[in-house]
Structure 1
């Protein structure tokens, strides 16, 4: 498949368009809310207990500390240049097992998230990482969703959308290599360059008939995961369960919870699931990226959720939550871009 074919595929599927284009109507909406709130950084008040409301430079570990421990995997925070022996001792003391997940504490759209199988892989990861990382137990559930939750002023919270995530899972036929199988799906082929760097000669492996492999075991759209709108799975029972769960997360009013779970039935009852992470003010209603949805649908969902964030932020500000000053906000943006560059060097 030629580069031209891939370019045309991206051009005709808006889910791949640059966010600067996709977010065009939100820019005007944002400026209107800036005028209404008299703050460029009003979103800081959307989740008062999360740094910058979860828009930038928020620590995943600090967010985990807000969540009751039964709802997320065992996690440790590792500082840059921390001694490997000490890290291994901490992993053992927390009873975290290989394979495990390593990822930046302050993340960037799935960059540097890795499944680590042994001590040697962990050592190599740590040598490359110039930032604080989290080491986590592997979550034992196979299914993943993003669940968007909002708690509007003087109203019970509600789930506004669910996105189901279809991982990059290849099924062998006993004939084709992994690389050849990747060429059969344009979504996967767009990831080939990154996968070649990660898997190298392993992409020449031929799977047996019916044998499967998950090449990217974390549900990130930028890493090839297909997003499917599963909002029809929302029930009153699920809404009630997550109102109970989210009421235990101090200061969380707006954002997307990435969740791994056993079944929708169990999830509706608030059992057999774990929270991968919570994204705050920067959250997208990612169910809009289902290929069946139009750009108009995407714009509708973006502006709807941005309006929710404005209402929540304004109400929290009245209750004492602070907006960032312009000077503070600019400084945070500078820090964000410095960290952005560090992550991209990984």
Structure 2
């Protein structure tokens, strides 16, 4: 974690010490919905990012796997943990035809078009580039719904072998009973065996069962999935309370809610 007030030379030294190479990902230490997540290619881009940031920053290596999922894990009281859903993520990838510019290709896809303003700011004159036939570019190399990634329900990929593998992983995380892991991986077959994947981040109680955002699902399906997971959270919370867990008072909870929105407003200004 890096403070935005830290001098750029100190930040670069830390990056070198951790053996992180360009390009890498910079993002808020406490973030939401992919806001202010950016791929950093050069020292100049890093300087610009740090100059704009009014929040503490995390810097992460680019992970060398081409696929990403969100895997929701729940461990109910006195039960073995289970995977309650998997969302597969389709990135914003353009394929060139030797004729149209990147901007023109974006304008041909309604989902991509929603992101044009953000992409204009990030890519600038690069959107005038014409890709060769068959050449591809991943416009947003991190799987966030709000940044244009399509979410597809892949819960059918859950297997007993995968569940056993992630039970072993999650048992090593003290106090983790409920949440979604964002994972980069090579193939589902290897993922089930606990091979060739990396966990990008773990989201806790605020997590959503994002497989519900698959366009094929109805609003009713989304409500049912939210209700199902809220009930899981209630059962876990009740059990933890009975076993001595400390809870915030109502006043403390309201204050934390205000602090959250204040922090998020700061990120939105980025």
Q: Same fold (TM over 0.5)?
A: yes
Deviation (angstroms), 1:218:
0.5
In structure 2, distance between residues paired with 1:90 and 1:107: 22
In structure 2, distance between residues paired with 1:83 and 1:183: 40
Counterpart selection for 1:187 from 96, 111, 117 = 111
The structure whose RCO (Cα within 8 Å, separation 6+) is larger is 1
Question: Which residue is 1:221 aligned to?
Answer: 145
Counterpart selection for 1:338 from 262, 267, 270 = 262
Q: Give the TM-score, by structure 2 length.
A: 0.98
Gaps of 5+ in 2: none
Counterpart selection for 1:169 from 58, 75, 93 = 93
Counterpart selection for 1:242 from 143, 166, 185 = 166
In structure 2, distance between residues paired with 1:234 and 1:158: 10
In structure 1, distance between residues paired with 2:253 and 2:221: 31
- The DSSP-based 3-state class of the residue aligned with 2:139 is strand
- Please tell me whether residue 288 in structure 1 is matched to residue 212 in structure 2: yes
- The DSSP-based 3-state class of the residue aligned with 1:78 is coil
In structure 1, distance between residues paired with 2:250 and 2:156: 41
**Do the aligned partners of 2:4 and 2:51 also contact (CA within 8 Å) in 1?**
no
Question: Which residue is 1:102 aligned to?
Answer: 26
- Please tell me whether residue 142 in structure 1 is matched to residue 102 in structure 2: no
In structure 2, distance between residues paired with 1:260 and 1:321: 33
- Please tell me whether residue 269 in structure 1 is matched to residue 193 in structure 2: yes
In structure 2, distance between residues paired with 1:261 and 1:241: 14
- The DSSP-based 3-state class of the residue aligned with 1:165 is strand
- The DSSP-based 3-state class of the residue aligned with 1:146 is strand
Deviation (angstroms), 1:322:
1.6
Q: How many residues align?
A: 270
* Per-residue Cα deviation, 1:121-164 (whole angstroms, up to 9, x for no partner): 11110000010000111111110000000000110000000000
* Per-residue Cα deviation, 1:89-114 (whole angstroms, up to 9, x for no partner): 11111111111110000102100000
Computed over aligned residues only, the root mean square deviation of the Cα atoms, in angstroms, reads 0.8
Q: Give the TM-score, by structure 1 length.
A: 0.77
Counterpart selection for 1:154 from 78, 81, 88 = 78
- Please tell me whether residue 258 in structure 1 is matched to residue 182 in structure 2: yes
In structure 2, distance between residues paired with 1:289 and 1:330: 29
**Do the aligned partners of 2:73 and 2:177 also contact (CA within 8 Å) in 1?**
yes
In structure 2, distance between residues paired with 1:269 and 1:109: 29
- The DSSP-based 3-state class of the residue aligned with 1:216 is coil
In structure 2, distance between residues paired with 1:80 and 1:216: 23
Whose helix fraction is larger, Structure 1's or Structure 2's?
1
- Please tell me whether residue 278 in structure 1 is matched to residue 184 in structure 2: no
* Per-residue Cα deviation, 1:64-100 (whole angstroms, up to 9, x for no partner): xxxxxxxxxxxxx001210111111111111111111
